[in-house]
Structure 1
């Protein structure tokens, strides 16, 4: 599994960066979304690749690794934020506005991430068995449509419900979901190419026939 550590590192990196830039809300054309929407679909593509090639058991470890990394990142941002600012440093308010993540945003992000990623991996692994490894596009798109839907709805509602008007809340959910799903569909040829390359280099094409799909049944033996 020469490429597995690299793919996991890239997945976690994209996840951390997307959670950092999620504080910005932008409006581009008909879309109204947070900054993470630009990067987060890439994390799902990596999740698809990891599950498709290495199976749900190894993907489960990657998901939990990303979860712990996000928790550590949020904790560090908070700890640095509460440290007394130097008398000649006037950027404390700017720091807190960008990196001083509120507990509500952190909780929303972590819950949405866990639910969305595990659903995405579960559906892809099950569909791979059902299709006997054929029709990769049905798995990557189908799993993402469900996983991204769960992730988007949970995050927006938990993070912004009661803060922004209900109509804007719904518009943000729809905008995020349409953008992320369209991104996944357009990236399908690239996903095919990367999956084929990784399977060839690592000589792995895992099927989760006997896998326990509990998100909490984690064992580092699965990395062997």
Structure 2
């Protein structure tokens, strides 16, 4: 129960931070949050915990929260601005990976305390090329698909009362695509088929919970924007 409580607490902190960044800094705040969530998600992905009776990583909340950011941008500003956020996320992930791979290649100072800290950082950022490639490909395809599908659903159901439909519909389908791409590229041939299916199902269930829980926050973001309560300088 402790893990579930902490998981929901982190989920609420994540969505509250997104809302605060948007309220305080407008569209720029959402752009700023993208690299924060992308980088932290890839740090947390090495932290394995037990949630809802399943083995899971903590990075799912921050990663799935990126879909809320692009949905807010799609709703209030349009497809082009949402696509910009996806590009920022991609280059943030690529830059972080490249820089940290060089950083962990340094020869550390032969001091016990320094070696311990260096090895700890190295353990986090020593990403296998296959996993890094899977993450980047899945991110780009699923996020651009989310932006595209959101616009498609919005064109068919433009009313605010269908905001939940375009938010959840685009996110749940795009995360299904993301899960499939990442699982196949990262783990096909590494684990048996039944293990791949288990990884796919457990990860998607957790990401789906995050997607459903973000619904009140996109309504709040739309309300703030419609009533001109956003500190947006653009």
TM-score by structure 1 length? 0.83
Q: Confirm or deny: 8 A CA contact 2:150 2:166 kept in the other structure.
A: yes
Tell me how far apart the structure 1 counterparts of residues 187 and 57 of structure 2 sit (CA, whole Å).
11
1:127 aligns to 2:150 (yes or no): no
In the other structure, the counterpart of 1:7 is: 30
Q: What's the secondary structure of 1:86's corresponding residue?
A: coil
User: In the alignment, which of 59, 63, 82 is matched to residue 82 of structure 2?
Assistant: 59
- Gap regions ≥5 residues in structure 2: 1-21
In the other structure, the counterpart of 1:159 is: 186
How much has 1:35 moved relative to structure 2?
A: 2.5
Q: Confirm or deny: 8 A CA contact 2:61 2:210 kept in the other structure.
A: no
User: In the alignment, which of 90, 101, 104 is matched to residue 115 of structure 2?
Assistant: 90
CA RMSD in angstroms, aligned pairs only = 2.2
Shift in CA distance, 20/144, structure 1 to aligned 2, threshold 3 Å: same
The count of corresponding residues between Structure 1 and Structure 2 is: 205
In the other structure, the counterpart of 1:46 is: 69
1:80 aligns to 2:103 (yes or no): yes
Tell me how far apart the structure 2 counterparts of residues 199 and 79 of structure 1 sit (CA, whole Å).
46
Q: Confirm or deny: 8 A CA contact 1:3 1:202 kept in the other structure.
A: no
User: In the alignment, which of 29, 37, 40 is matched to residue 17 of structure 1?
Assistant: 40
Q: Which deviates more from structure 2 when the two are superposed, residues 133-142 or residues 112-121?
A: 133-142
In the other structure, the counterpart of 2:217 is: 190
